[in-house]
Amino acid sequence: MAFRFRTPASVLLRRAQLTLMLATLVPTVLMLAVGIVMLAVGGGSFNVVAGALTLAFCTTSLTGYILGSIFVSRGASLARVQNDFVSTVSHELRTPLTSIRMFIETLQADRIEDPVERRKCLDLLQQEVGRLEGLVDRVIELSRIETGRRAFEEKPVQLDDVVRDAVAAYEASTLTEPAPVEVQLDESVTVIGDRSALGLALTNLLLNAWKYSDPTDRKISLKVSASDREAEIVVKDNGIGIPWDEQRMIFEQFERGRAAVDSRRSGTGLGLAIVRAVMNAHRGRVELRSRVGQGAEFRLRLKRERTP
């Protein structure tokens, strides 16, 4: 017989559901039966009034039970999400740690005598350490944003400055396989926000566009436009595209589309979660338009600074 481990949070929530049912639902059903009997028997105004009040009380109790069940179920869902988060982080950390341990053991055992090969091994070790550091930094940044511990500046920000920052970070990260970004700036657009956070969100979109496009024919564009009330940043690519049924899911932590996983392209599934968190913090929104095999188009929408 197989046993499945349940976390303490799941056990407590399950007990809360059972307690709520026994303490509320069972007495309510019994009182409901009494109220119906009193109304059916009649025999005087007292029985009618008492029966009506009993039914009203039962209705209120049932409503409370339903709402309580919804809140407890949401708590259980949150506990499952937390468990999945820990499991996924552990898996993502294990891969670079395994590589780092293998390289260290190889160097300790003096299995590589050729200086060139030894240098190559050290370079790979440094690459895995950087990958591990990047993952930890992303997890911490996302956690700080979603828990409200990340303080965002609220200052006038020129979007052309944000674009320059993001493109510079993108170019620095893609030196091995450079691909130009076609930038279109209609005008000098100002929004209220945090320049570094907006730059981080835009950089993530550019890197995703680079990562999931054909290395031999990458076409990435970035356009900034504005209306009277709203500014819009559009990042478009000619990559593998995203199916409609995955377009909500990929904004969740550690979630990646099937095509992205099948392509064996590296990724943690945190980039778009950070983009969404940054936009929510700025009271903006991110929109996605994509079809399989026809690339993706991400739109960041922000409120413009009000001019007197």
Give the model confidence (pLDDT) of 253-308 as tens digits: 777 777 666 766 666 678 888 899 999 989 999 999 998 888 999 999 998 876 55
Question: What average pLDDT does the structure give for the chain?
Answer: 79
CATH for 1-150? 1.10.287.130
Q: Where are the domains of the chain?
A: 1-150, 155-303
Q: Can you give the pTM of this predicted structure?
A: 0.65
- Fold matches, 1-150 and 155-303: no
Which pLDDT band holds residue 3 (cuts at 50, 70, 90)?
Answer: very low
Report the percent of the chain where pLDDT is more than 70: 72
* Alpha-carbon span 82 to 75, nearest angstrom: 11
For residue 270, give the nearest of 168, 124, 140 by alpha carbon.
Answer: 140
pLDDT over threshold 60, residue 10: no
Q: Please name the fold of domain 155-303.
A: Heat Shock Protein 90 (3.30.565)
Instruction: Dump strand ranges (E) for the chain.
Output: 155-158, 181-185, 190-193, 220-226, 230-236, 285-290, 296-303
Q: What is the pLDDT of residue 167?
A: 94
Q: What is the pLDDT of residue 285?
A: 93
Residue range 173-183, pLDDT digits in tens:
888 888 999 99
Instruction: Determine which helix (DSSP H) or strand (DSSP E) holds 260, and give its type and residue range.
Output: helix 258-262
Residue range 40-63, pLDDT digits in tens:
766 666 666 666 777 777 777 777
Q: What are phi and psi of 192, to 5 degrees?
A: -100, 120
Q: Are strands 220-226 and 230-236 parallel, antiparallel or unpaired?
A: antiparallel
More confident residue, 176 or 199: 199
**Average pLDDT value for residue range 92-102:** 75
Which pLDDT band holds residue 2 (cuts at 50, 70, 90)?
Answer: very low
